[in-house]
Structure 1
């Protein structure tokens, strides 16, 4: 009887080219997320020269930027980073849902992992917690997910 083959991504085979698409709006939070993503990539052996950052005006523009990056064929993974903070208007709903849906479909359409590192929070306090204080750094978490996907997909492609 043969054994079941299980493929798992890890953090040892993470070499590749990574793009970080950044929505500049809420930059006071987003900058910490980007720093966390870069730190995680570099600490796991990704060369700084293999990281490209593309800055979009805000989170709503991230899907087009991510799609453009993925379509170049230059990147093994694209990390989308931004922050959408709920306010007193329905703007939050108009941005967060469509951005999440579009980023997911880009992965499926291009075959390039597009990692959702966009904070969708109710308050500035929650955003700050997720950008490097109590709740860790969600930019670093997104980078870890990107590396794991690059590792996993390299095993599937073999």
Structure 2
């Protein structure tokens, strides 16, 4: 994911993606209003790029996202139209206990492992913030829209993977 300093992120010069390109968004139930807006941002970008085969899988919490992605891939990896990328969306807001640290570490490690093990990219679209205000700043506020950035990253990674296969 990009920081404010990544001016190239919004530039999409990826070539033509397959018209049936499938992307699966795996999102949490926690902090639903924020996570739903992250998903809406993803969908806006995909729609603008003509990508319409977008599926959503909902899991209870952020820790369950890697399980959802891995099992979704395992159930579809031999199909003709299988996902070309996964996007993990969630929002973990710091509380008064160390639970925040464990959740953030667990989901980060899980997604990192999936990126190493799976043949398709898994995009990290998890907000890890101290306050709800910080989350809102990242869904269209002063820090941009991290859902849109996740979709752009997915498109770029699908394109990269296609280039590497040539």
TM over 0.5: yes
How far apart are residue 138 of structure 1 and its match? Answer: 0.4
Structure 1 residue ranges (4+ consecutive) displaced by more than 3 angstroms after TM superposition: 9-12
The equivalent of 1:128 in structure 2 is: 136
Aligned CA RMSD, in angstroms, stands at 1.3
TM-score by length of 1: 0.89
Kept in 2, the 8 Å contact 1:121–1:127? The answer is yes
How far apart are residue 63 of structure 1 and its match? Answer: 0.7
1:116 to 124, 134, 142: 124
What pairs up with 1:50-89 in 2 under 5 angstroms?
50-71=53-74, 72-73=76-77, 74-89=82-97
1:40 to 42, 45, 48: 45
The equivalent of 2:147 in structure 1 is: 139
In structure 2, distance between residues paired with 1:39 and 1:31:
12
1:18 to 23, 35, 47: 23
Unaligned runs of 5+ in 1: 1-8
TM-score by length of 2: 0.85
The equivalent of 2:98 in structure 1 is: 90
Aligned residues: 148
1:154 to 142, 147, 162: 162
How far apart are residue 78 of structure 1 and its match? Answer: 0.2
In structure 2, distance between residues paired with 1:10 and 1:54:
28
Kept in 2, the 8 Å contact 1:70–1:78? The answer is no
The equivalent of 1:5 in structure 2 is: none
Deviations 1:21-43 (A, max 9, x none): 01110111111100001111111
In structure 1, distance between residues paired with 2:62 and 2:27:
8
In structure 1, distance between residues paired with 2:27 and 2:13:
25
In structure 2, distance between residues paired with 1:90 and 1:134:
28
By percentage of residues, which structure has more helix?
1
In structure 1, distance between residues paired with 2:13 and 2:62:
29
How far apart are residue 112 of structure 1 and its match? Answer: 1.0
In structure 2, distance between residues paired with 1:121 and 1:13:
35
Kept in 2, the 8 Å contact 1:115–1:145? The answer is yes
How far apart are residue 67 of structure 1 and its match? Answer: 1.1
How far apart are residue 98 of structure 1 and its match? Answer: 1.2
